[in-house]
Amino acid sequence: MRLEKSDPITELLTRGVDKVLVRDRLESKLCGFTHTKTPLRVKLGIDPTSINIHVGRAVPLMKLRDFQELGHMVLLIFGDFTGVIGDASDKTTERPMLEQNTVNKNAEQYLAQCARILDIKKTEVYYNSSWLNTLSYHEVASQANVFSLAEFISRENVRARLDAGKRVSVRELLYPLMQGYDSVYTKADVELGGRDQWFNLLAGRTLQEYYQQEPQDILTTNLIMGTDGRKMSSSWGNTINILDEPSDMYGKVMSITDESIIPYFIHITRVPLEDVQDMEAQLREKSVNPRDVKMKLALEITQLFWGVGKAQEAEKHFITQFQKKEIPDDAAVIQTTQGEELIELLVRSKLAASNTAARRLLRQGAVVFDEEKITDPRSTIEKSGVLRVGKKQMARVEVE
């Protein structure tokens, strides 16, 4: 991977970017802004399908902030309507409809999380139920008439589901229309999204033309991997969340694979690209310990969401809790939720062969959590820490 020092506009259009449509036109508008003084309207939609926004979703939010810092108007749309319907873009099976109350409760938490990245005072914030709830059947049918069934089923994941005999609901066909109409309603000049959103973003251009608006340009960002090396997803529990406590966030970043270090620097931080390139060269030449580079990364990311002071405290906590206890770099990382029974965790993580074996280990005093011997079979996990089982087995337990 070759990273070049660049001007702000070039970096905006390349750093962590998958595709840009239409690149020349968008670049021309960005360069011309210094003369026209007319800011672009740059849109990003987020469906509140879980209580937390994870740093994978923060990637396009970071890009939105880049536009904001160049003086453009950013539009943040919370999909309190589309979140109920469900997007099929990245799904291998049908996503069930969510309860409206669940989506509304999640949406209540999202603005404060986004405010850790964006200047909310300079952000237009919308909830798309305010316009999607008012559309008539006639208007939805008119919008649907612009698209063909062949366009929808040509999408790779939808085609794979159909070929496998899996159900694809008509509801899922309507989702791109809804996201596309968001662009019509807000008169977006540019829409951002993950690379898996390409079809939906194109739908926005199509509907804008139908409504006689100039079609938006599109910028998609790359997807990043979660703590287990798979795509970051709340349903897989491999996320680093914006609201994770500083020490938990720092520890989770330290648990990512070495292959993810540079992509995280590129996508989730704004460390100068030439510095990232230097670190990449050092990692490739093995002239630096990946753990040390990862610690720089963990500090940068924790600092982004919690500030310098708390990030430094999290680093001290990590050094005290993990490094000074000589936790090996390749120690297993077990993710859990607060309140999980210790016995269940031991069996699930294969540190004990069965519930009976787990109880025996507890009775023998062979289970130690954060240097405290645990013997009560009713014990639960309430915080992140270091778990030792016997003399050889050791793992980092991280509470989401």
- Given a contact cutoff of 8 angstroms between Cβ atoms, the answer to whether 262 and 1 are in contact is yes
Predicted confidence band of residue 90 (pLDDT cuts 50, 70, 90): low
Rounded Cα distance, 180 and 202, in Å: 8
Predicted confidence band of residue 228 (pLDDT cuts 50, 70, 90): confident
Domains of the chain: 8-226 (3.40.50.620), 244-324 (1.10.240.10), 327-400 (3.10.290.10)
Segment 130-152 mean pLDDT = 93
Rounded Cα distance, 321 and 326, in Å: 9
Please provide the distance, in angstroms rounded to a whole number, between the alpha carbons at the two ends of the chain.
32
Q: Which pair of tokens denotes residue 46?
A: 């987020």
Helix-helix angle 170-186:198-210, to 10 degrees: 60
Segment 271-292 mean pLDDT = 94
Judging by beta carbons within 10 Å of its beta carbon (0-12, 13-18, 19+), is residue 235 exposed, middle or buried? exposed
Identity at 249, one-letter amino acid code: M
Judging by beta carbons within 10 Å of its beta carbon (0-12, 13-18, 19+), is residue 371 exposed, middle or buried? exposed
Task: For residue 131, give the nearest of 75, 172, 91 by alpha carbon.
Answer: 75
Q: Which helix (H) or strand (E) holds 355?
A: helix 355-363
Q: Which residues of 53-66 are buried (b: 16+ CB within 10 A; e: fewer)?
A: bbbbbbbbbbbbbb
230: pLDDT strictly greater than 70: yes
Q: How far is CA 282 from the centre of its chain?
A: 27
Q: Which three-class secondary structure state does DSSP give residue 31?
A: helix
User: CB atoms < 10 A from the CB of 168, how many?
Assistant: 19
Segment 23-27 mean pLDDT = 95
CA angle 309, 312, 400 (to 5 degrees): 100
Beta bridge partners of 21: 218
Q: Which pair of tokens denotes residue 43?
A: 């849109």
5: pLDDT strictly greater than 60: no
166-221 pLDDT, tens digit each: 888 888 889 999 999 999 999 999 999 999 899 999 999 999 999 999 999 999 99
Q: Which pair of tokens denotes residue 45?
A: 């939609």
Predicted confidence band of residue 4 (pLDDT cuts 50, 70, 90): very low
59: pLDDT strictly greater than 60: yes
Query: Which pairs with CB-CB distance under 8 Å and at least 24 residues apart come from 327-333?
Result: 327/386, 327/394, 327/396, 328/394, 329/290, 329/291, 331/394, 331/395, 331/396, 332/394, 332/395, 332/396, 333/227, 333/255, 333/395, 333/396, 333/398
Rounded Cα distance, 351 and 357, in Å: 10
Identity at 72, one-letter amino acid code: H
Distances in whole angstroms, Cα of residue 341 to Cα of each of 21, 241, 365: 50, 23, 17
Task: Kindly report which listed range (48-57, 99-108, 164-173, 262-271) carries the lowest average pLDDT score.
Answer: 164-173
Task: For residue 377, give the nearest of 361, 389, 391 by alpha carbon.
Answer: 361
94-117 pLDDT, tens digit each: 777 889 999 999 999 999 999 999
Q: Which three-class secondary structure state does DSSP give residue 231?
A: strand
- Given a contact cutoff of 8 angstroms between Cβ atoms, the answer to whether 397 and 384 are in contact is yes
CA angle 376, 378, 382 (to 5 degrees): 100
Rounded Cα distance, 88 and 175, in Å: 8
Q: Are strands 41-46 and 73-78 parallel, antiparallel or unpaired?
A: parallel
| Alpha-helix residue ranges (DSSP H) falling in 99-190 | 100-114, 129-132, 137-144, 149-153, 156-163, 170-186
pTM recorded for the entire structure: 0.78
Which of 89-103, 138-152, 299-313: highest mean pLDDT? 299-313
